[in-house]
A and B are shown apart, each in its own frame.
Chain A
């Protein structure tokens, strides 16, 4: 069986969950090989983690020379590795940087790229959700090495040790790839809540909150959920853009999505329409969001949510 390269998604050596999801998909396509581009001092720790989720090989690429440079050096690393091992496919997390790495790699390798896959079968057919979630596409790469970027929550991580053989890989990075650089970064403050795109439950607020997100956050915490916001709430300055669910924000597909004081414009639907169960609370019974819901409450979120939160807390005892 051929190797399948999986680019490890991590922050300073802390492996993020989508990596394990990609390893699970890689097992369907061949033998998973994790590619860790990061600090050499973190390599052993990362290798242990990805090994536990089935990585047969772990390529370690020391990023001392390229740290802080965006996209292009990582595309060169994957290109050189792909030329050496001729993988059956290359899987990359569908983050902003991941998609751009895939884009550059696609041109370098003259290989087809599929972005934002929500599933990949053993014969390489990828599923995508398009047109604001109104259509599902089945697609396949027909030229070169399939490069597929995969969205979070697209597969369940599968524990089960692989060989986890560590191999150092020294890539040659061109000067041209070192032209766009992160000059400052402010890591996001930990909220203590799950990551929006990875959460099983998302509770969102919109214009109807009037800027008071306490009821929304209260319900989110009672349910162990992530907090989201509509574009209207973000444009009003009530929540940072990183909370935005929708066409130009995050696309989420949780088990449960609770929309509060959100009318349900197409741009918002694009970010949440594929959620398994949808619930809405809105004062306006004509709000289009009610066309999507499994359950809806026509009422004021400022009274409904605190009462629901209290009841949930009581039941949990």
Chain B
């Protein structure tokens, strides 16, 4: 089996994230790392491999600037077999559509995957639409937002919390699969894994290597534009009271009444 897991390098969500003057995400001023939500995708890819046996290969695929290779390295340390990092200055500022194009072209070059594994969303843009776009571009079905993944041969069944019901969804490989943070704790790289990762193949590809024209991607080719970004004004400090002998409840009710919630 051939599994490609898409991993994104994102600004640390616990840091002070900012935008650049051109309204793109500041990916330099803030420390980056493998998106936490993609760790679950790596974990599920590795579990599929462990279940399917040794002839399964897991390729970690990342698009991003030079530093983004850290996300691929982390996936290799966790246990992925090889890494591909697509890096090209022309990609900067790409929107969902261009991102999915570059991913799709890179996946075609990697070879026929049985499963393209993704996290539920990135922790920066958090749109959650790239897996479906990728499925559309690759002509594959998508089975997304899995809380539980089960496979039997080429059959995939997932459980998920749908919009209005708890659902079991079935599909047949090849397909695009996305998993949530409910799918199971992601493993930490072991010392052995960290050492082994240094010897694993890791290729860096340019747009030319995957047959994408620079004019198809980046900020200027985006199908959407961000006209303005505004930091939300900090909330002004509210009133804090200490509860003593029931005073807290009374004060709380007074506040709610003053705001006409009662």
Contacts and interface: CB of A to CB of B under 8 A. Distances in A.
A and B together in one complex = yes
B169 A295 contact: no
B143 to A, nearest CB: 5
A113 B14 contact: no
Contact of A115 (B128, B226, B252): B128
Interface residues of B, number: 82
A89 to B, nearest CB: 13
Interface stretch (B57-65, B106-114, B155-163): B155-163
Interface string B206-238: 000000000000000011111111111001011
A135 to B, nearest CB: 6
B81 interface: no
A131 B252 contact: no
Given A201-B261, A297-B251, A144 B132 contact: no
A13 interface: no
B17 A141 contact: no
B143 A180 contact: yes
Interface stretch (B82-90, B117-125, B194-202): B117-125
Interface stretch (B1-9, B45-53, B67-75, B174-182): B174-182
Interface stretch (A22-30, A45-53, A165-173, A301-309): A301-309
A175 to B, nearest CB: 11
Interface string A274-316: 1001110100010000111111111110011101100110011
B100 A107 contact: yes
Contact of B235 (A182, A266, A278, A312): A278
A103 B241 contact: no
B133 A311 contact: no
A237 to B, nearest CB: 12
A311 B14 contact: no
Query: Secondary structure of the A side of the interface?
Result: mixed
Contacts of B230: 135-138
B250 interface: yes
A71 interface: yes
A131 B143 CA distance: 26
B232 A133 contact: yes
Nearest to A142: B225
A182 B220 CA distance: 39
A15 interface: no
Contacts of A248: 37, 120, 180-182
A111 interface: yes
Interface string A78-102: 0000000000000000011101101
Interface in A230-250: 240-242, 247-248
Given A113-B129, A298-B240, A299-B248, A104 B227 contact: no
Interface stretch (A33-41, A58-66, A183-191): A183-191
Interface in A245-262: 247-248, 255-256
B32 interface: no
Given A298-B242, A304-B252, A180 B97 contact: no
Given A11-B164, A130-B125, A104 B262 contact: no
B175 A179 contact: yes
Contacts of B66: none
A315 B257 contact: yes
Nearest to B252: A308
A56 interface: no
A138 B19 CA distance: 13
Given A96-B162, A182-B167, A312-B253, A299 B13 contact: no
Contacts of B135: 72, 104
A21 interface: no
B239 A266 contact: no
A295 B132 contact: no
B124 to A, nearest CB: 7
A107 B37 CA distance: 24
Interface string B128-141: 11111101110111
7 contacts: A70-B142, A136-B229, A141-B224, A176-B141, A187-B165, A295-B238, A307-B248
Interface of A: 11, 70-72, 75, 95-97, 99-100, 102-104, 106-108, 110-116, 125, 129-144, 176, 179-188, 201, 223, 240-242, 247-248, 255-256, 266-267, 273-274, 277-279, 281, 285, 290-300, 303-305, 307-308, 311-312, 315-316
